[in-house]
Amino acid sequence: MFSSPSTPQLQRPGHVRHCKYCLFGLPGTQVGLDASRLAIVFYCIGTLDLLGLLDSGSKPHEREEWRRWIWEQYVVSEHGAGFRPGPFVVTAVDGEDKSRSTNAHDTPHIIMTYTAVISLSILQDDLKRLDKKQLLSFLRSCQREDGSFSTIPGSTDSDLRTTYCAFAIFKMLDDWSGIDIPRAVSYIQRCRSYEGGYGQYPWNEAQGGTTYTALASLYMIPEAVQSSLRPQARLTDVERAQSVRWLVQQQTEAGGFSGRTGKEADACYCFWCSASLDILGAGHLVDESAVIGFMGQCQFKFGGIAKAPGEDAADPYHTYLSLAALSLGTARGATLPDESWKLEPLNPLLNARTSVAEWAQAKMSNAQ
Ligand SMILES: [Zn+2]
C-alpha cells in the first residue's frame, strides 16, 4: 500500500452522517424518492454496514426502530406476502390491521421485498415473521406470460430489475418451485444486445445496471437447473468475451464507468459494471486505481457520494453503490491509497456484505 497525495481519504464520518440524515427524513433534493422509501433505507443501512460502522455509528434503539419500521411494511395481500415501498399506500386507519392489504396499490412489491430482506439481515433480524409459502405465492403471481416479473401482481411494469430481485429471493429461500425458469431465462436472453450488454427490455440499448441484473440472475440459477436448460443460461465463451469487452470499454478516461456506450462516467456504474466483470470471472480487468481516484472526486463536501465529480448533491443510492464497488475492489486486492479505503467484502451476486448474504440465505432457507 502507498499513500497518494492526490487521492483524499474516504470521508467515512461524512458518509455515515449523510445516510443517517436520509434515514430520519429525506432532504429536499431527494423527495422524489419517497415512493421507494424502503430502497432508500437499504442504501442507507447498507452504507453503514459496508463501512463497518453500523454498531458504532448508530444506537441500539435506532437499529430497533429501523427494524420495526421495515416490518411495518410487511403486507399480506390476496396474492401472497411481501414488503410494500412505504406507508404512503396504506389507507387503514388507526386500530385497523395494517399488515393486511387495504387497496389495490397496497400490495407487496418485488424490488422492495428484496431490499427489505437484505436490510433486515444487516440488522440481524431472525426473519421468523416471513411466511415462506405466502412469499413464494406472491413471487409466482408476478411472473408474466413473457417470462418477466412485474413489480406487483397484475402490473405491466416489468424489466430485468424485477427479474433480478425475484431470483435473489428464490436463491435466498433456496426454493425455485412454481416458477417457469426456462421462460424467465428466455426473457433475459432476449434483452441481450449486439454489444454484449443487456437492455432493460428486449430490443433496448445495453445499459450497465441491467447488464448486471441479467448476468447476476443467470449465474444465480442452481447448478442442477442450469444443466437441464437448453439453450444454456450461462454465457457461451464467445458471448462472455463479447460482454467482457463491452464492460471493460465502459471504464472511461475519468476513471469511473459509464452506463452506456459514449456516456460520461457515473459512480453507480462502477458497481454495476465491475460486479458484472466479477460474475464473469474478469474482475482483474478493472483499473482499480482509476476507480478509487474517480470516487475520491465524487465525494460530496457535506458527506455522501455523488454520481459524478462537481455535482451539487450526493444521495444514498450512489453512496452505497460506490462503496459496494470499492468493496469488490478491496476483495480483488486493489492497491489502496490508505486504510480509509478498505471496506468489508461483498457478495457480488446478492449485492450484500458477504456475511449478510450468508445470514439471509441461512435464515430464509429455514423459513416456514
Ligand atoms: Zn448513477
Compute, in angstroms, the gap from residue 298 CA to the centroid of ligand 1: 11
Compute, in angstroms, the gap from residue 206 CA to the centroid of ligand 1: 15
Compute, in angstroms, the gap from residue 257 CA to the centroid of ligand 1: 10
pLDDT > 70: percent of the chain: 96
Q: What is the pLDDT of residue 6?
A: 79
Residue 325 CB contacts under 8 Å (≥ 6 apart), including other chains: 267, 270, 271, 274, 275, 291, 295
Q: What is the pLDDT of residue 5?
A: 53
- 106 — pLDDT class (breaks 50, 70, 90): confident
Please, are residues 160 and 217 in contact by the beta-carbon 8 Å criterion?
yes
* Mean per-residue pLDDT, 5-10: 84
Please, are residues 148 and 162 in contact by the beta-carbon 8 Å criterion?
yes
Compute, in angstroms, the gap from residue 268 CA to the centroid of ligand 1: 4
Q: What is the pLDDT of residue 93?
A: 65
Q: What is the pLDDT of residue 1?
A: 38
Compute, in angstroms, the gap from residue 320 CA to the centroid of ligand 1: 11
Q: What is the pLDDT of residue 208?
A: 98
Give the number of other CB atoms < 10 A from CB of residue 292: 22
Compute, in angstroms, the gap from residue 38 CA to the centroid of ligand 1: 18
Each residue's pLDDT tens digit, 285-336: 999 999 999 999 999 999 999 999 999 899 999 999 999 999 999 999 999 9
The SS3 call for residue 251 is strand
Compute, in angstroms, the gap from residue 70 CA to the centroid of ligand 1: 25
pLDDT, the chain, mean = 92
Compute, in angstroms, the gap from residue 307 CA to the centroid of ligand 1: 5
Compute, in angstroms, the gap from residue 209 CA to the centroid of ligand 1: 9
* Mean per-residue pLDDT, 229-242: 93
Q: What is the pLDDT of residue 101?
A: 73
Compute, in angstroms, the gap from residue 316 CA to the centroid of ligand 1: 11
Compute, in angstroms, the gap from residue 135 CA to the centroid of ligand 1: 30
Compute, in angstroms, the gap from residue 266 CA to the centroid of ligand 1: 5
- Detail the DSSP E strand segments found in the chain: 74-77, 80-83, 346-347, 352-353
Distance CA 274, CA 257 (A): 8
What is the DSSP code string of 97-116? -TTB--STT-S--HHHHHHH
- How do the residues of the chain divide into helix, strand and coil, expressed in percent and rounded to 5? 50, 5, 40
Q: What is the pLDDT of residue 154?
A: 87
Residue 156 has pLDDT above 90, yes or no: no
Among 201, 220, 342, smallest CA distance to 275 is for 220
Compute, in angstroms, the gap from residue 144 CA to the centroid of ligand 1: 28
- 253 — pLDDT class (breaks 50, 70, 90): very high
Residue 142 has pLDDT above 60, yes or no: yes
* Mean per-residue pLDDT, 192-213: 96
Compute, in angstroms, the gap from residue 319 CA to the centroid of ligand 1: 10
Q: Which CATH number applies to 12-365?
A: 1.50.10.20
Compute, in angstroms, the gap from residue 212 CA to the centroid of ligand 1: 14
Compute, in angstroms, the gap from residue 91 CA to the centroid of ligand 1: 33
Compute, in angstroms, the gap from residue 321 CA to the centroid of ligand 1: 9
Q: What is the pLDDT of residue 157?
A: 86
Q: What is the pLDDT of residue 96?
A: 73
Handedness of CA 292, 298, 303, 306 (dihedral sign): negative
Give the bridge partners for 83, in sequence order.
Answer: 74
Q: What is the pLDDT of residue 3?
A: 39
330: its cell numbers: 478491496
Residue 4 has pLDDT above 60, yes or no: no
Compute, in angstroms, the gap from residue 159 CA to the centroid of ligand 1: 18
Domain boundaries, the chain: 12-365
Compute, in angstroms, the gap from residue 75 CA to the centroid of ligand 1: 30
